[in-house]
Chains A and B, each alone.
Chain A
Amino acid sequence: MLSTLHHPPRSLSRFLPSKGKPRSFHTKPILSSSHPIIEQPHASSTSPPQSQILSIRHSLLSRHVTATQLAESYLTRLKLTEPQLNSFLHLSNNVLKEAQAIDEKIRRNEDVGPLAGVLVGVKDNICTVDMPSTAGSKVLENYCPPFDATAVKRVKELGGIVVGKTNLDEFGMGSTTEASAFQVTANPWDVSRVPGGSSGGSAAAVSARQCVVSLGSDTGGSVRQPASFCGVVGLKPTYGRVSRFGLMAYASSLDVIGCFGSSVADAGILLNAVSGHDRLDATSSKQEVPDFTSQFVSATLLESKPLKGLRVGIIRETLDNGVDTGVKSAILGAVSHLEELGCTLSEVSLPTFSLGLPAYYILASSESSSNLSRYDGVRYGNQVFADELNALYEDSRAKGFGSEVKMRILMGTYALSAGYYDAYYKRAQQVLQSSFMCGQEKFHPSACVRTLIQKSFKVALDENDILISPAAPSAAYKIGEKKNDPLAMYAGDIMTVNVNLAGLPALVLPCGFVEGGPAGLPVGLQMIGAAFDEEKLLKVGHIFEQTLQDCRFVPPLVADGFAQ
């Protein structure tokens, strides 16, 4: 399996958009659900990404390789790359044991789940029963939860092997993973750069092939922006699609568990595994879960215009000033690629777009100030000895939380305080309660920013099947570059926060490169769909990915490490 990874492209000029010039599509068989194709050991460096999960399944069931061998090869790579990357906060001691159990089942011809032998990284704010779960915070150092998050439980039930807990910005608050209390994760494309955040560890781990897929969480872009920075596929499902039970809450009305993979198919298969109603999460949806991967079409079977008639809206506001020119041209390249696939492209405007950032930071901070109240040192985590109750709280929290978390708790506490609540929190809300919040309280409807954002997405998605934008205004930047400029860092979330406020699903997939680092830096394209229509995003994303010419998104670190 090790040899399936490819050297990254060294020349950038090939990836710059060649507008007007029609491209031909690859016609190699890629993926069909009935006949999973094993990845060719010496696939050409231009072949599109294949589903690692399907090829693992095929290899295991056809006895080409054992789960133990597979796990060993991943662990070897993980140990080789981890000193430079620091993607993981904890590693499981049971990986080989669990792999052996799968091999034993296969030997006895027993059924194994669709994720059998698949190594899964889990963001450390998602509870796992056999490993610490710290959310990247000192306040939970060494804390071991007594239960698995529902998403983790489902992954395990389907045969997935949790390889370890990935690094993150403390409690998911940050966009670089530098706000982890324990370590800074590096970007596999250039170890002097950030992997993005807050799910930077999960994105870097998949990018560097330290694991097959990973779980992250997305409150304002924490899956999509690191996916873009690390050149992997990141999927933020519809709010409520995946149970939040066991996800340490940052902002409850925005948080979702999301999926990383090195192909659209893998992200879709992982989403299949973790989706669905959970009686332990009252906000999880009872909406039916379709097989997200059933519509995947092998590239051989693609017609010349496989996306003919698909209406794609480019969000005008996302290509305004403030977006790097390199990112802009990569997105325009993706636009012409979508046109070649038969899509009808048009510009759409989201007039509420610029309201997203302030509304997001008010709502997320407010909810987090409440959600983080439980970290008081009384029941778990580090308790500071004090001779008086208030001092116990103050010292435990002062020592336990990092500065970014403290800043957001302060902002949120302020926004919820008497006299400010109406001006901030209430004005930034409201979702379902909009009718009575706006009606009964005699608010001018325009005061409810979140409702407005939802409405403007609704209008845009009535006219278009999907909306597209960059996933972030820039590619990965240097470690430390924005550490002392929180506003610049917050501004980087502009592409993603609106989607959380509207609760919609969005898929980010690599679409090109900008210059930087030893081999260029990947750029992610964000596709936004209607609520609970992940299926369409995955179908479009899959075709996009399978037909994208000459773009391989395997970082140099891995390719080099492999050669050894």
Chain B
Amino acid sequence: MRQVIGIETHVQLSTLTKAFCGCPYNYGSQPNTSICPICMGLPGALPVLNSKVIESAVKLGLALNCKLSLNTKFDRKQYFYPDLPKGYQISQFDIPIATGGYLDVDLPIEFGGGHRRFGITRVHMEEDAGKLLHSEDGDYSQENTIPHILHYLDDHVGYALQVDLNRAGVPLLEIVSEPDMRTGVEAAEYAAELQRLVRYLGVSNGNMQEGSLRCDVNVSIRPVGQLEFGTKVEIKNLNSFSSINRAIDFEIARQALLYSQGQGDQIVQETRLWEEGAQKTITMRKKEGLSDYRYFPEPDLPEVILSAEYINSISSSLPELPEMKRRRYEKMGLSMQDVLFLANDMNVAQFFDATIAKGADVKLAANWIMGDIAAYMKNEKLSVNEIKLTSEELAEAHCFNKECDY
């Protein structure tokens, strides 16, 4: 059987304020404390685009080797849900800001290593929705003057729902990959590389636990030689790279088993949920008709026009990205094991670069960082920025190195 995997990733941007209003967003704030008429969708309120959203999208688009749309626009995606205060999401439909790129990944040695290039279909800008809160006593919003209580009983949970709009209007970039991945490991590494990229670029903290980086995975399998894709199944609730890996491998095995038992027709287009406890996927909802989002151009926001100067200035300010770093380290003569260890964490890479910039020997510095320093960091649960040793001190301590000037 041949597996086909594609990933849709939502990256929450770490702009100071939301996409279309002046509210700050801090994960974990008290419900409905970071809201205003605009992100609440009150009558008469209008969105005004935060230019940092464009800047972040251009950065990521360039870093993903995409073609940028010089004239782009926002569209309204319309559906009803209590966490969507306007009844539509401001998103991009037919002219996304970036299209047709790719992402280079080096697979970990323990999974066989090797270099992969995964296609990027598109990157577009949109706003996040709020969150539903389930409360048994209906007492969440006592601090708020704005009632967000939904006076209905959810038939699944049996208690009142409330809406927290803190997250509503927070800027997102949605990155859609080509269906280029074949295994859980490849998909997990794609997601990990995307996380590194947004962290290197400084556009997002990429934190999966807080939902700053969310991956939805599409999996289908087909017999070798068959041209058309098999039935696509979407998996949600993937909160870590290892759950991406395991959920995909589980799903592939599940579908392959159905095929081998002659029950291929039981694979239906649906959304499945990864259950971390049970280590399996379960049906969340079957394909509900054809959803028609009635997209049309957002009339409250003017077109976004990117000038060549603007793109050039962003392009020239981009930092060294993980892939370039890895190739540079490789050229320095480091093993792939060393390269991946050093380049995977932006802070470690910076520490390493600073150390060798002081004249330290490349291999010795790498060994120190990967050996004693890494062990110390692990024991003390510290990051490289938190340890007392500076890159200067490490370089000096390397006076035993062959080119030491001291």
Task: Please list the residues of chain A having a beta carbon within 8 angstroms of any beta carbon in chain B.
Answer: 126-127, 133, 135, 140, 143, 145-147, 149, 244-249, 251-253, 279-283, 366-367, 369-370, 372-376, 378-380, 383, 385-389, 391-393, 413, 416-418, 421, 425, 429-430, 432-433, 436
Query: Given A367-B296, A370-B78, 20 more contacts at CB 8 Å?
Result: A126-B44, A127-B43, A146-B37, A147-B44, A244-B46, A245-B46, A246-B44, A248-B43, A249-B44, A282-B300, A283-B46, A283-B301, A369-B294, A370-B76, A375-B43, A380-B43, A388-B152, A416-B295, A418-B292, A436-B95
Q: Give the complex CA separation of A510 and B161 in angstroms.
A: 55
A444, chain B: closest CB distance, angstroms: 19
| Cα A379 to Cα B147 with chains together (Å) | 6
B151 and A392 contact, CB distance less than 8 A: yes
B108 on the A face (CB < 8 A): no
Residues of B within 8 Å of A147, CB to CB, are 37, 42, 44-45
Q: Provided the pairs A244-B46, A282-B46, A417-B292 are in contact, do residues A385 and B151 lie with their beta carbons within 8 angstroms?
A: yes
CB-CB contacts below 8 Å: B97-156 with A? 146-148, 150-155
Count of residues in B whose CB is under 8 Å from the partner chain: 43
Separation of A430 and B80 alpha carbons in the complex (Å): 27
Chain A contact residues: over half helix, strand or loop, or mixed?
Answer: loop
Structural contact, B48 and A282, CB atoms closer than 8 A: yes
Does A433 lie within 8 Å of B303, measured CB to CB?
yes
Contact partner of B152 among A283, A366, A392, A416, CB < 8 A?
A392
> Binary interface profile of B, 218-236, with partner A (CB < 8 Å = 1, else 0)?
0000000000000000000
For the complex, give the distance between the alpha carbons of A126 and B44 in Å: 7
B163 interface residue per 8 A CB criterion: yes
| Residues on A with beta carbons closer than 8 Å to the beta carbon of B86 | 373-374
Interface residues of B in 59-115 (CB under 8 A from A): 71, 73, 76, 78, 80, 82, 85-88, 95
Q: What 8 A-B pairs come out closest when comparing CB atoms?
A: A373-B87, A252-B299, A253-B299, A416-B294, A246-B44, A248-B43, A127-B44, A418-B292
Judged by a CB distance under 8 angstroms, whether B49 is at the interface is: yes
CA separation between A112 and B303, bound complex, in Å? 40
Whether B152 pairs with A282 at a CB distance below 8 angstroms is no
Residues of chain B having any CB pair with chain A under 8 Å: 37, 40-49, 71, 73, 76, 78, 80, 82, 85-88, 95, 146-148, 150-155, 163, 290, 292, 294-297, 299-303
A82–B405 Cα distance when bound, in Å, is: 94
**B45 cross-chain contacts in A, Cβ below 8 A:** 147, 245-246
| Cβ-neighbour of B151 out of A372, A379, A383 (below 8 A) | A383
* Minimum CB–CB distance for B304 against chain A, Å: 11
CB-CB nearest in chain A for B298: A252
Whether A393 and B294, one on each chain, are in contact in the complex, defined by CB atoms closer than 8 angstroms, is: no
Please indicate the chain A residues that have their CB under 8 angstroms from the CB of B295 in the complex: 416, 421
Known: A127-B44, A145-B37, A281-B46. A367 touches B152 (CB 8 A): no
Interchain nearest-CB distance for B317 vs A (Å): 26
Closest to A389 in B: B152
Given contacts A279-B48, A282-B49, A416-B294, contact A374 B300 (CB under 8 A): no
Q: How far is the CA of A433 from the CA of B69 in the complex (A)?
A: 14
Please pick, from A143, A369, A373, A383, the residue contacting B80 in the complex, using a CB distance under 8 A: A373
Closest to A143 in B: B43
Instruction: Kindly list chain B residues whose C-beta atoms are within 8 Å of the C-beta of A432.
Output: 302-303
Given contacts A282-B48, A385-B152, contact A376 B87 (CB under 8 A): yes
16 A-B residue pairs with Cβ-Cβ distance under 8 Å, sorted by A, are A145-B43, A147-B44, A245-B45, A245-B46, A247-B44, A280-B48, A367-B299, A370-B87, A370-B296, A372-B87, A373-B80, A374-B87, A375-B43, A378-B163, A380-B43, A429-B297
